[in-house]
């Protein structure tokens, strides 16, 4: 009896590990106390591994956004602010991306109360819904390109910018799919999927940019900002598709063969959309208010002229790109583990309790991942914020761009922008 039981457990262990999904994703729904989960000996190792994957997945897009701005500046420095319309499209799309995907941490990340089949069904529902919303937004951006350019591009370059916006409009579709897949797979303890998406996007972008728009491009054509937009769109769509296919193959199809779901289905349903919508509504409203205020600020900066519009765009590329990579990685990692611990706590008290009472010890245990991320972020960000980031902005625009961006007027604008951010 004993050896037979041991062999059975070994087989189950090998089967579960081959999916590389969750440690407890063998379909069991046993109760798990949050304090036990927080004190697990594998916690630190799992946290570090997730943080490493998340850092790698964020640093590649940030590095590309910096390089692409330098290449566009070599094509025509006055068109740098045109490329920022891609960022502002992303700000609008972020409102959608911070709605349902934010619910993934507490809903899909609840591995204690939900089976693997249920969590995969929620993931499929999230991806399908976000793809539909992204497609609708892409059509809207393409149709409203002239009005969008009027608000966020200086007057002298709006003609080119309208074409740029129409091309990059469908990055809204790729963005919503990418964020849905990334959020859901991180909640499923699969940070390798977002890493695959970022790696594919970075590799294809770099290769095509080197061949088509870089100073040492192949062929006799003259690179333009529209070439860069077409490359950006195609790479975003391909990487989002690659990440989705990889997830469906690695998680859904393999898991369905290894784990016996029985009568449980992992198909998307409208009922599961309501499950995601309830917690996602609050983050959607908060994101809408915050991003509308930000776009109002950007529109006013653009109205000040091309110099300030360019300065603001490059500043944000650095500040919310390379400098913020550790913070973004820490945020995603802490959200994943906090969601797991909250799910374990909810399972321990019963999911029928709508207004749970949490003692201070359990609350601190649930908040442990967020506390660790906060300490690490402060250690990194405080020294960097003092000097480094706005000097990097000044270097990029005042010393690298030779087309007049080293003039006293532009330096004054850039210094003012950096000091304003402080």
Q: What is the pLDDT of residues 190-211, one digit of tens each?
A: 888 888 888 888 888 888 888 8
What's the burial of 263, exposed, middle or buried (CB within 10 Å: 0-12/13-18/19+)?
exposed
pLDDT at residue 258, as a whole number:
55
Residue 101 within a domain: yes
pLDDT at residue 3, as a whole number:
44
Residue 20 within a domain: no
Residue 14 within a domain: no
The rounded distance, in Å, linking the Cα atoms of 94 and 27 is 34
State what percent of residues in the chain have pLDDT above 90: 18
CB 191 within 8 A of CB 123: no
pLDDT at residue 16, as a whole number:
36
Query: Is residue 27 over pLDDT 90?
Result: no
Ranges 99-108, 163-172, 221-230, most confident: 163-172
CB 123 within 8 A of CB 184: yes
Residue 399 within a domain: yes
Ranges 1-10, 71-80, 128-137, most confident: 128-137
> How many domains is the chain partitioned into structurally?
1
Length of the chain, in residues: 422
Rounded to the nearest integer, the mean pLDDT of the chain is 76
In this prediction the pTM is 0.74
The rounded distance, in Å, linking the Cα atoms of 150 and 160 is 12
What's the burial of 252, exposed, middle or buried (CB within 10 Å: 0-12/13-18/19+)?
middle
pLDDT at residue 289, as a whole number:
95
Query: Is residue 256 over pLDDT 80?
Result: no
- Lowest-confidence range among 1-10, 150-159, 160-169, 316-325? 1-10
């649930």: which residue's tokens? 366
Segment 206-221 shows an average pLDDT of 81
Residue range of the domain that includes 314:
30-421
pLDDT at residue 349, as a whole number:
75
Which of the pair, 245 or 262, is modelled with greater confidence?
Answer: 245
What's the burial of 41, exposed, middle or buried (CB within 10 Å: 0-12/13-18/19+)?
exposed
CB 88 within 8 A of CB 141: no
Query: Is residue 144 over pLDDT 90?
Result: yes
Query: Is residue 156 over pLDDT 80?
Result: no
pLDDT at residue 354, as a whole number:
63
The rounded distance, in Å, linking the Cα atoms of 113 and 218 is 56
pLDDT band at 9 (very low <50, low <70, confident <90, very high): very low
Within 10 angstroms of residue 369's Cβ, the number of other Cβ atoms is 23
Residue 11 within a domain: no
Segment 221-230 shows an average pLDDT of 86
Segment 114-141 shows an average pLDDT of 92
Q: What is the pLDDT of residues 296-307, one digit of tens each?
A: 988 888 888 777
Which of the pair, 335 or 254, is modelled with greater confidence?
Answer: 335
Return the structure tokens found at 275.
């499950």
Residue 2 within a domain: no
Residue 194 within a domain: yes
Residue 295 within a domain: yes
Segment 42-47 shows an average pLDDT of 75
Return the structure tokens found at 201.
């996007």
Return the structure tokens found at 104.
């993934």
């809408």: which residue's tokens? 288
């Amino acid at each position: 009896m004993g050896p037979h039981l041991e062999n059975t457990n070994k087989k189950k262990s090998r089967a579960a590990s081959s999916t590389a999904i969750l440690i407890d994703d063998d379909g069991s729904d046993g109760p798990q106390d949050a304090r036990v989960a927080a004190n697990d000996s594998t916690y630190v190792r799992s946290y570090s591994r997730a943080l490493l994957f998340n850092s790698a997945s964020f640093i590649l897009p940030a590095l590309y956004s910096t390089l692409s701005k330098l290449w566009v500046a070599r094509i025509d420095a006055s068109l740098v602010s045109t490329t920022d319309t891609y960022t502002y499209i992303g700000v609008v799309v972020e409102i959608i991306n911070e709605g349902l995907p934010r619910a993934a941490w507490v809903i899909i990340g609840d591995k204690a109360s939900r089976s693997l089949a249920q969590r995969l069904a929620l993931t499929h529902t999230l991806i399908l819904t976000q793809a539909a919303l992204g497609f609708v937004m892409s059509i809207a951006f393409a149709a409203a390109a002239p009005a969008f350019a009027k608000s966020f591009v200086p007057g002298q370059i709006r003609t080119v910018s309208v074409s740029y916006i129409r091309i990059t409009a469908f990055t809204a579709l790729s963005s919503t799919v990418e964020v849905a897949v990334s959020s859901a797979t991180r909640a499923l303890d699969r940070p390798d999927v977002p890493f695959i998406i970022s790696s594919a996007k970075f590799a294809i972008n770099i290769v095509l940019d080197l061949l088509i728009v870089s100073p040492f491009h192949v062929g006799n054509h003259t690179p333009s900002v529209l070439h860069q937009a077409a490359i950006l769109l195609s790479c975003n769509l391909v990487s989002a598709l690659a990440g989705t296919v990889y997830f469906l193959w690695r998680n859904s199809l393999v898991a369905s063969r290894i784990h016996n779901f029985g009568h449980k289905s992992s198909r998307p349903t409208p009922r599961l959309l309501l499950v995601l919508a309830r917690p996602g509504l609050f983050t959607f409203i908060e994101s809408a208010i915050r991003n509308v205020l930000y776009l109002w600020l950007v529109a006013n900066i653009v109205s000040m002229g091309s110099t300030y519009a360019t300065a603001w765009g490059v500043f944000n590329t650095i500040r919310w790109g390379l400098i913020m990579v550790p913070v973004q990685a820490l945020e995603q990692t802490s959200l994943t583990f906090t969601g797991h611990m909250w799910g374990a706590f909810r399972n321990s008290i019963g999911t029928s309790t709508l207004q749970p009472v949490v003692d201070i010890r359990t609350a601190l245990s649930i908040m442990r991942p967020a506390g660790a991320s906060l300490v690490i972020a402060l250690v990194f960000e405080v020294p960097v914020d003092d000097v480094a980031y706005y000097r990097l902005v000044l270097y990029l625009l005042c010393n690298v761009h030779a087309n007049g961006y080293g003039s006293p007027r532009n330096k004054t604008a850039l210094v003012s922008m950096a000091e304003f951010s402080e």
